[in-house]
Amino acid sequence: MLRLIGFPWFMSDKRDFMLYRQNSLEALPSIPDCTVDMIFADPPYFLSNGGSTCSGGKRSLVDKGDWDQSCGVNENHAFNLAWLKECRRILKPDGTIFVSGTHHVIFSLGFAMQQLEMKILNEISWFKVNPPPNLACRYFTHATESIIWAAPSAQSRHYFDYHAMKEENGGKQMQSVWSIQPPRKQEKRFGKHPTQKPLELLLRIVKASTRPGDLVLDPFSGSGTTGVACALLERRFMGIELNPDYLTIARQRYLSLDEETVVEERAKSFRKPTSMAARTLKAPQSNTPGLFDGIQTPGLVPENDEVVAPGIPGTGPEDSDPPGPRRRR
């Protein structure tokens, strides 16, 4: 049912969690119109251009990877317009999309959405509770990321679980400023992704905007945070990612979900999701021979809920140079 793009790199035995190793610009056009209920997109921010940041108390180069290097304002915007146009096409008329970014990319993303005549529903500020200090002392400390929530058109009648959000906010209306910690150590136990989003952020987004069984797509799925949130909340998930190392982390996070759930519950890092399905951890029946070779079931990770050193999750550079042109691969 979910095999919309072609042969998946990984597919769960229930076929409700799929990972594709593909370039989104090539994969998205093969998804039929009006198929997806919700999209969460955490695209390249184009901030790895020789600037510096503070990581673990020390000045370090901002280098998330080649995929994060700027190709110049015009080419970056053309890229954003291209994948957003496909996202708009494949969203159901009443579906929605969340797109995250810092100032390096968020204006292009917002403008592209306006060009595509999408309906902006909210601009959410994710306040990163413990941001790294600004070493240059010439700027305010970068402490937020923006998340634009939009529907495909002005006619859309989008879904919003108002009551779940109110409950999560202690009985008061959920506002558009969200204080959420960076990913915890145990969220990174299968490997580090340089811009991994906190699970708590994705749980809130998925819970607010989808119903159980809905189909969620992440075109830049990285370490699979969106997929983990979907699995915990019983939504179907498709992730697209270029880098096999990140796909491997995502697959491992999914396969160890029982443990993740237990550790998360113990750590109380999020308020109880509406349906915390007990999932059986078992080797998937392989439709993709050889795919699961060498996968170990890891032991339960001891409770260790320290916050990872500031500066890890998609933090903007302190005083990065303006993006220089570079050819997109």
Ligand X SMILES: C[S@@+](CC[C@H](N)C(=O)[O-])C[C@H]1O[C@@H](n2cnc3c(N)ncnc32)[C@H](O)[C@@H]1O
How many CB atoms are closer than 10 A to CB 176?
11
Cβ-contact 270, 200 below 8 angstroms: yes
181 binds ligand X per the rule CB under 6 A: no
Residue 41 or 208 with smaller CB distance to ligand X: 41
> How near is the Cβ of 226 to ligand X at its closest, in Å?
7
25 binds ligand X per the rule CB under 6 A: yes
> How near is the Cβ of 118 to ligand X at its closest, in Å?
20
Q: Which stretch binds ligand X (CB under 6 A): 113-121, 137-145, 188-196, 206-214?
A: 188-196
Residue 150 or 240 with smaller CB distance to ligand X: 240
193 binds ligand X per the rule CB under 6 A: yes
134 binds ligand X per the rule CB under 6 A: no
Would you give the binding string for ligand X spanning residues 205-224, x where CB under 6 A is met? ---------------x-xx-
Q: State how far the Cα of 19 lies from the Cα of 22, in Å rounded to an integer.
A: 9
Residue 15 or 21 with smaller CB distance to ligand X: 21
Residue 145 or 156 with smaller CB distance to ligand X: 145
Residue 80 or 156 with smaller CB distance to ligand X: 80
At residue 228's C-alpha, the angle toward residues 224 and 234, to 5°, is 140
How many CB atoms are closer than 10 A to CB 301?
15
Phi first, then psi: give them for residue 149, nearest 5 degrees: -110, 125
Q: Which residues of 107-140 are buried (b: 16+ CB within 10 A; e: fewer)?
A: ebbbebbeebebbebeebbbebeebbebbeeeee
Who contacts 70 (Cβ-Cβ below 8 Å, separation ≥6)?
46, 47, 49, 76, 104, 323, 324, 325, 326
Residues 238-267 contacting ligand X, CB under 6 A: 240-243, 246
Whose CA is closest to 104, among 60, 153, 71?
Answer: 71
Would you give the binding string for ligand X spanning residues 26-55, x where CB under 6 A is met? ----------------x-x-----------
> How near is the Cβ of 227 to ligand X at its closest, in Å?
9
Nearest residue to the partner ligand X, using Cβ: 222
Applying CB under 6 A, among 142, 184, 197, 251 the residue interacting with ligand X is 197
Who contacts 128 (Cβ-Cβ below 8 Å, separation ≥6)?
143, 144, 145, 180, 181, 182, 310, 313, 315
Applying CB under 6 A, among 35, 52, 63, 67 the residue interacting with ligand X is 67
Interacting residue ranges for ligand X, rule: CB under 6 A: 23-25, 42, 44, 67, 193, 195-197, 220, 222-223, 225, 240-243, 246
